[in-house]
Amino acid sequence: MANVEWNGLVIRRASAADAPAVLKIFDEIIAWFVAMGNSEQWGSKPWSGQPRQVERVVEACSLPGAWVAEDEGGAVLAALVLGEAMPYAPAATEPEIYVRLLVASRRSGARGVGRRLMAFADEQARLAGVKRLRVDCYGGGSGALARFYESCGYERIAAFDVDGWPCQLLGRVHASA
């Protein structure tokens, strides 16, 4: 699929070259989390300084289902990775597209980009002829992240633990199903 434009936003395929910009978004979010007292979700240290996290982000950006959203000036505002379910997730019961990663900047110019990328995931499922989408997220804290996915049309499927990290699995059937 070619680049998609939406209200000044360009959604394009990601590559390993986008990893530094995506790591910058993770660092921005982690700083915001720490400021609000949430160090349980992704820790309290910037991911850009952690070799394992840098490796994970480079790998994610290199996957065939990796996308970034950038503004008109080319600044990366968010990343989305679609593909197979994460290894820790309960097995799918039917063909699906799994949202492996969604991360969006907290900057005001990025407002709504996460929701737009979730709609883009729905479009990708429709184009692939797949009806089911699933996503997992941090299931601890205030539950705000799970509520965000619910506001995108997902329903809670299961809560489970991944090595002491509370996880919430959500799913949906895309709109044209």
Per-10-residue mean pLDDT for the chain, 177 residues long? 71 97 94 80 83 95 97 93 94 94 88 93 94 93 89 94 91 74
Helix (H) or strand (E) holding 28: helix 19-35
Q: Are 158 and 128 in contact (CB under 8 A)?
A: no
* pLDDT for position 140: 84
Could you tell me the CATH number of the domain that includes residue 140? 3.40.630.30
* pLDDT for position 122: 94
Q: Categorise residue 164: left if φ over 0, alpha if ψ from -120 to 50, beta otherwise.
A: left
What helix, strand, coil percent values describe the chain, rounded to 5?
35, 30, 35
Instruction: Find the domain containing 58 and state its range.
Output: 4-173
Q: What is the number of structural domains in the chain?
A: 1
* Rounded Cα gap, residues 72 and 50, in angstroms: 30
| Residue-averaged pLDDT of the chain | 90
